[in-house]
Structure 1
Amino acid sequence: MPSNEQRREAAKRKLERQLERRAARARKRKQLTIAASAVGVVLLVGAVAVVVTLTRDNEESSEASAAESVTASEQAPGVMPSGRAEPLPQLVSCTYTPDGQEPARPVDPPRTDDIDTTVRTVSVSMETTQGNIGLTLDNADSPCTVNNFLSLASQGYFDNTPCHRLVTSEGLKVLQCGDPTGTGTGGPGYGFANEFPTDQYAQGDPALQIPVTYPRGTIAMANSGLPDSNGSQFFLVYGDSQLPPQYTIFGTIDETGLETIEKVAAAGDDGSMAAGGGAPNLPIDITSVLMD
């Protein structure tokens, strides 16, 4: 008869297999894009507009102190949370779960323990074939995402990879990068949970389905449309964009970087993606990502 310890280990292995199968199904469904949700957002924005105006002014209120922050459930529908209701502990642990897919490039998962949140921001220089894009990563609000991004960058995962998707619609202005295959399906072979702003909402909160403004200059994670399906792909917002708050924000883009992206956006895209947008007509490849 198996011991309690053996039963616990068997149950743990079964759960891990279930999580891996679920993640694998999610990977197969995706182009790892934000477009599927964006289609719904375009239809929903008109109805939401009569209730709340999504403006840059709402985003500027993020400068308010933590003492003035309120929980997501207390905010008006359609407003991005201005910040965390409570700061994270000084040290956090992160979980990066294998998804059953071959990594787009060989890569080791990030470290998982004692991730320091007291370093609020990390400056990064992303060199591209169209110019430099300076990034400030928000380690205090999304430490597991920043930890992942820096781990991939340090291993050269992003080097000499294309930004494979550009969207120039009125409600969605983004450049998507982070897939070495350039197909929109590649990832690092593991997934991890959403952070800010998603984790400021209770699970199942209807507000998670209401679009908010991701302001110009935001860096956020792309996902498969399922919760906690982040990998390596991210998108750079070069114009205010409306999306449900289901995409982890983990930093901002400097003005020089926005000029680089806007130059690419001005040339348009080839319309090759059924979900919206396509490959940039002016190709842009990441050549390196280095901490400043």
Structure 2
Amino acid sequence: MSTNEERREAARRKLEERLQREQQAAQKRRLALLATAGVVVVAIAAVGGFLWYKKWDNDRHTTCDYTAAPSNLADAIKAYEGQLSQVPADKKAQVQAYIQQMKDGEKLARTSPMPDGRTLNSGTVDLTLTTNFGAVPITLDRSLAACNVNAVVSLASNGYYDGTKCHRMTTSDTLSVLQCGDPTLTGMTGPGWHSPDENPQGLKEVPVDPQMAALGLAQGGTVIYPRGTVAIANSNNAEQQRENTGSAQFFIVTKDSQLTPTLAIVGHVDEEGMKVIDKSVKAGIATSPTDTPTDGMPKTPLEIKNASVA
């Protein structure tokens, strides 16, 4: 039989074993709790990080609403031909020449895929026009007009401008530009879509003439587009509620010009590049029935052999 001493020793060992088991169990519970808390912290951090990244990424992008705009050159030709019989005799040759110009241009029409509707809204892109007069480097600035810069980049990347000529030159006292970007040379077509309006900010306003203002003939709201500015042409018309009509056609300002601030500025040409543009400008305007002394087809057009982005 066991002595009292042996029984007490056995009881003590059992108590120690039970306490050890309970201690181990408690330690496992603490480790499990810490592990769970760690997972929760990591999950919270991951969600927070994702939300921060999403906001950061959204802040540096802009959503652009490009809209389909099929070419209507064929309809314009029919309309002009339908009105030809009503044109005064002294203007008929001019209208016929314009109709023929549209017919010739219709054969050169082309399209380009609609750009991605989400684009970066800061940073610059280098666009180089390789022309018959030399290279014209253009610095495109997304912060000025992100959607229209995105459009130009897309068009250049898809070869839309390659093998085209700048079709219009204006050299009046208040407006001097060289306009490009329409393969048909008519100024009436685009790539099959329109880009949204992005009106420029911070341009210097043209002072209102006090005498004209006194006569009620002053037209305010015009600003100076500086020489070297590259902007997007459009056919907006406030009276007809026509807006968001820009696309591929752009113009390069050859002398500080007065315009309404409704033409998106996409970039600038430095003075070295403008010297190349000046070569076409100095050749003057062609003398056809559709041209005037200050507005028309360049006599020696700037030919864009290739437009590349980097």
CA contact (8 A) 1:102 1:188 kept: no
1:290 aligns with 2:294: no
- The residue type paired with residue 108 of structure 1 is P
CA contact (8 A) 2:195 2:245 kept: yes
Query: How big is the shift at 1:199?
Result: 11
| Bigger RCO (CA 8 Å, 6+ sep) | 1
- The residue type paired with residue 120 of structure 2 is D
Equivalent of residue 253 in structure 1, options 256, 264, 269: 269
Normalized against structure 2, the TM-score is what? 0.59
Aligned pair in 2 of structure 1 residues 195, 211: CA closer, same or farther (>3 Å)?
same
Please list the CA deviations of residues 113-132 of structure 1 after superposition, one character each: whole Å capped at 9, or x if unmatched.
2x1123x2111111111111
1:211 aligns with 2:222: yes
- Helix, strand or coil: the match of 2:299? coil
1:96 aligns with 2:114: no
* Corresponding residue number in structure 2 for 1:117: 121
Runs of 4+ in 1 over 4 A off after TM superposition: none
* Corresponding residue number in structure 2 for 1:278: 296
Aligned pair in 2 of structure 1 residues 256, 192: CA closer, same or farther (>3 Å)?
same
Query: How big is the shift at 1:275?
Result: 11
Return 5+ residue gaps in structure 1 as ranges: 1-87, 201-207
* Corresponding residue number in structure 1 for 2:174: 171
Please list the CA deviations of residues 9-35 of structure 1 after superposition, one character each: whole Å capped at 9, or x if unmatched.
xxxxxxxxxxxxxxxxxxxxxxxxxxx
* Corresponding residue number in structure 2 for 1:158: 161
Please list the CA deviations of residues 141-177 of structure 1 after superposition, one character each: whole Å capped at 9, or x if unmatched.
2110011001010110000001000111111110000
* Corresponding residue number in structure 1 for 2:145: 142
- Helix, strand or coil: the match of 1:175? strand
1:238 aligns with 2:254: yes
Query: How big is the shift at 1:196?
Result: 3.5
Query: How big is the shift at 1:100?
Result: 3.4
Deviates more, 1:126-135 or 1:222-231: 222-231
Normalized against structure 1, the TM-score is what? 0.62
* Corresponding residue number in structure 2 for 1:23: none
Equivalent of residue 189 in structure 2, options 169, 186, 199: 186
CA contact (8 A) 2:151 2:195 kept: no
CA contact (8 A) 2:171 2:294 kept: no
Query: How big is the shift at 1:261?
Result: 1.2
- The residue type paired with residue 235 of structure 2 is S
Return 5+ residue gaps in structure 2 as ranges: 1-57, 74-108, 204-218, 238-242
CA contact (8 A) 1:153 1:289 kept: yes
RMSD over aligned CA atoms reads: 2.4
Greater fraction helix: 2
